[in-house]
Amino acid sequence: MPPHILDGKKIALQKQATMATIIQNYNLQALPPHLAIIQVGDDTASHIYIKNKTKACKKIGIKTTEIYHTHISENKLYKIINELNEDPTIHGIIVQLPLPKNINPENILHKIHPAKDVDGFHFKNYGRLSFKLPTHVPATPLGILEMIHIHKIETKGKHCVIIGNSKIVGAPLGILMQHLQATVTICHIHTNDLTHFTKQADILISAVGKPGLITQKMVKKGVVIFDVGTTFVTDNHTISKYTLKGDVIFEEVSPICSAITPVPGGVGPMTVTALMHNTLRAAQGQVYTLQKNQTKIFKGY
Ligand code: GUN
């Protein structure tokens, strides 16, 4: 049987259409959902990600403000975040990662007000996620969870092997997959004999950013694969001069999978859509109770 191609782009477009209708119907236009995106430095991939995020937001009525600095001190960045925290017209704030070496992301990400932390990286939101409390779930894990849900992929008692223990993807996804009653193994850069683990996976999630990492002999027949890898590889045959590559060698691995996400068109569009979902929820005060007529507009923190 050919593998089921998990079409993230199709689901993403459906979700975006639903959100566009909600934004119109809830009469949020008076104060449209508004996402502030901060970028520091000159990471090429970040430029592309931010362009995709702003384009998708605009399409459904989410306003975006981009704040860009090539160089900035931690203190100045903290001041910008504070102003955005205090601004009642801003509902979501993200600081695009990676940050330049002079800035410690741990110092910065936790300065974003938890109610506006639509990336879900603040330790309060991370803690709430661990306890299954309402929170902003990080976008990539949320996008993958939605695909699992929509495609009715069995997780209970299944062995989910995640490659990559980043705070953006691997670590929160590990918690979420345990919530779905999967047995979870998280592999990372220091894991010895990666194949020993990947071969056991009923569900394999690769979030490394190393094209060609996952070959056919590393997986078992019938595995479900989510390829989170997004590496921009130079390609002079395309207009943009780059091609997006996942971690999995799709041509050789997909024939033995029961289901697999393509790159592009798999996890990527779901990640962008999950961020938009979090921003809309923040604007509606769905995670933290909205309190009117206050400079600090959310109660509890
Ligand atoms: N860099 C790569 N993925 C992400 C993400 O989901 N959020 C932020 N802020 N930066 C990223």
Query: What's the topology of domain 30-113?
Result: Rossmann fold (3.40.50)
Catalytic residue among 117, 119, 202, 227: 119
| Length of the chain as a residue count | 301
pTM for this predicted structure: 0.94
pLDDT over 90, % of the chain: 87
Helix residue ranges, H only, the chain: 8-25, 44-60, 74-86, 105-109, 123-130, 139-150, 170-179, 194-198, 250-253, 267-283
Q: What is the DSSP string of 116-131?
A: G-TT--SHHHHHHHHT
Q: Which residues of the chain have pLDDT under 70?
A: 28-29, 290-301
The DSSP bridge pattern shows strands 203-206 and 183-187 to be unpaired
Q: Is the CB of 119 under 6 A from ligand 1?
A: yes
Q: How far apart are CA 6 and CA 15, in angstroms?
A: 15
Mutate to test the pocket of ligand 1, among 35, 96, 276 (most ligand atoms within 8 A of CB): 96
pLDDT tens per residue across span 211-259: 999 999 999 999 999 999 999 998 888 888 889 999 999 999 999 999 9
Q: Would you kindly state where each structural domain of the chain is located, as residue ranges?
A: 30-113, 139-268
The pLDDT of residue 297 is 30
Please confirm, yes or no, whether 119 is among the known catalytic residues.
yes
Measured by CA distance, the residue closest to atom 9 of ligand 1 is 96
CA of 255 from ligand 1 middle (Å) equals 31
The pLDDT of residue 301 is 31
Whether the domain at 30-113 and the domain at 139-268 fall into the same CATH topology: yes
Please confirm, yes or no, whether 158 is among the known catalytic residues.
no
The pLDDT of residue 32 is 92
Q: Nearest 5°: phi and psi at 26?
A: -80, 5
The pLDDT of residue 293 is 42
Q: Nearest 5°: phi and psi at 24?
A: -70, -50
Catalytic residue among 53, 63, 116, 245: 53
Q: Nearest 5°: phi and psi at 174?
A: -60, -45
Q: Which amino acid is at 56?
A: A
Measured by CA distance, the residue closest to atom 1 of ligand 1 is 97
Q: Is the CB of 272 under 6 A from ligand 1?
A: no
**CATH class belonging to 139-268:** alpha beta
Please confirm, yes or no, whether 101 is among the known catalytic residues.
no
Q: What is the DSSP string of 193-228?
A: -HHHHHTT-SEEEE-S--TT-B-GGGS-TT-EEEE-
